[in-house]
Every structure is written in C-alpha cells, then in structure tokens.
C-alpha cells in the first residue's frame, strides 16, 4: 500500500447495494414469525443493530425466543430477503466510484456480515465483481450474527496478510459498526447516510467523515491524499 495507494473497505448491504427497504420488509416478516408486531421504516433505522439479537429484543422478542427458534427464524428472514432483494440495484454512483478507485490502483474489498455466496451472486448480476480484490463475508447461514460479529478480526487479519497500513486503509459503511472497527484498528471511517440506520444514530457513532452519497466519497478520498481522477 505504498505511494498513497489505499485499501478501501466497503460494507455491502445498504452501502453499495440499495437494499434497506427489502431488509426492513424481511425483518417485519421475521418479527411476525416470532409473534411481534411489524415496525415502521423509521423504527427499523432506530433499532437495527449488530449483533442482530439486540434488534429483536428492542422490538419485543426475547433473546430466549429467538435462540430457541433461530434456524426457523433465519430461514424466514433469508427467504423473504432474497425474494425482495433479487433485483436490488446499487446506490447511485457506485460504478463510477469503483471504476475510478480501480483506475488509480487502489485496492477495493467488501467486508460484510452477509453470506459470501449471495454477495458474489449480486456482484455478477450487477457486473461489479471485477472491482474487488476480495469479498470477506460468511460461508454459513445468518444465525452466525445473532450474538456476535467478526468483522474487526477479519479485517485485522486481511490487513496483516496484505501488508496494509492503518493510515492507508479506509472503511466505508452505513452502520455503527464501521466507526467501531476503525477505532479498533486505527483506520479512517466514512459513514454514509440513507442506509440501515438513522442519520442521528450515524452521527452519534462518530465516524471520521459523514457523506450522503457515493459521489461525495469520490471527492473525499481525493482530499485524504489518495489520487483519484
């Protein structure tokens, strides 16, 4: 990562893929499965969280109930989400941003709590796979993120293997996770609004920078010392 070339780490859901509405609707189907009432999109953005168990607790489902039926609940969510997000598009500016980052020699990767195989399918569908050096997600079902996530550990290991320095690594996402990961690893975080959490919650998470579109990230990365056309 020399000569100002950066490792640019993207979250997937809600950051590159515009899937907040499918995620909200699928979550309501899952809440119904557990016997809880549906929630509004605003409530979803106020309570969406990792680990996912807290999201259910905040919306009237006990941890015990979720864990007792986690496999069935996960199937209810995944089947609904896959159907609802089957034709989801990218957020505006995604292709332009990624093309420019690649052109300037920056390494782009995806770091996600979602399932690798599913992300790969969307990348192929959206003609995006060639932009990314690596997709770092899960190889098993969604029950793995009920009680804990491993994104910080996975990114730390990837940076070690690739020789990426903290000062040359930027993480971009729409949740409270990315600022937390950035502080743990000493890297730069960019939060993007309009995803899975409210703007107020994103601000409270205190990423280093906040943008409202992928177009803004292109300009911001240039100011951070990374050449981009």
Question: Once rounded to an integer, what is the mean pLDDT over residues 182-186?
Answer: 98
pTM for the predicted model, two decimal places = 0.93
User: What would the pLDDT profile of 94-127 be if each residue is shown by its tens digit?
Assistant: 999 999 999 999 999 999 999 999 999 999 999 9
* Collapsed DSSP state (helix, strand, coil) of residue 178: helix
The pLDDT, as a whole number, for residue 226 is: 56
Cα 106 to chain centroid, rounded: 20
Question: Once rounded to an integer, what is the mean pLDDT over residues 162-166?
Answer: 96
Q: Which CATH class is domain 7-18+89-223?
A: alpha beta
**138 confidence band (pLDDT: 50, 70, 90):** confident
The pLDDT, as a whole number, for residue 143 is: 54
Q: Which of 218, 210, 187, 201 is nearest to 9 (CA)?
A: 187
* DSSP H stretches of helix in 14-115: 20-33, 41-47, 52-58, 63-68, 70-84, 94-103
> What is the share, in percent, of the chain residues with pLDDT greater than 70?
92
**52 confidence band (pLDDT: 50, 70, 90):** confident
The pLDDT, as a whole number, for residue 88 is: 98
Question: Does the pLDDT at position 146 exceed 90?
Answer: no
Question: Once rounded to an integer, what is the mean pLDDT over residues 81-89?
Answer: 98
Task: Name, in order, each residue with C-beta under 8 angstroms of 127's C-beta and a sequence gap of 6 or more.
Answer: none
Question: Does the pLDDT at position 222 exceed 90?
Answer: no
**156 confidence band (pLDDT: 50, 70, 90):** very high
The token pair that represents 106 in the structure block: 């920056």
Question: Does the pLDDT at position 140 exceed 90?
Answer: no
**Whether 90 contacts 17, CB under 8 Å:** yes
Question: Does the pLDDT at position 128 exceed 90?
Answer: yes
């Amino acid at each position: 990562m020399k000569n100002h070339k950066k490792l640019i780490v993207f979250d997937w859901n809600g950051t590159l893929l515009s899937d907040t509405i499918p995620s909200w609707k699928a979550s309501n189907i899952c809440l119904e499965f557990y016997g809880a009432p549906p929630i509004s999109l605003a409530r979803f953005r106020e309570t969406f969280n990792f680990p996912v168990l807290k999201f259910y607790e905040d919306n009237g489902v006990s941890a015990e109930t979720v864990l007792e039926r986690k496999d069935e609940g996960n199937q209810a969510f995944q089947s609904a989400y896959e159907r609802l997000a089957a034709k989801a598009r990218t957020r505006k500016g995604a292709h332009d941003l990624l093309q420019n980052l690649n052109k300037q020699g920056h390494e782009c990767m995806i770091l996600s709590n979602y399932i690798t195989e599913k992300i790969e399918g969307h990348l192929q569908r959206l003609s995006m796979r060639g932009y990314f050096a690596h997709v770092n997600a899960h190889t098993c079902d969604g029950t793995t993120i009920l009680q804990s996530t491993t994104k910080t550990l996975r990114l730390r290991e990837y940076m070690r293997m690739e020789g990426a320095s903290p000062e040359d690594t930027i993480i971009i996402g729409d949740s409270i996770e990315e600022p937390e990961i950035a502080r743990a690893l000493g890297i730069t975080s960019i939060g993007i609004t309009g995803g899975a959490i409210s703007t107020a919650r994103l601000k409270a998470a205190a990423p280093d920078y906040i943008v409202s579109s992928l177009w803004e990230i292109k300009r911001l990365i240039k100011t951070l010392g990374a050449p981009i056309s």
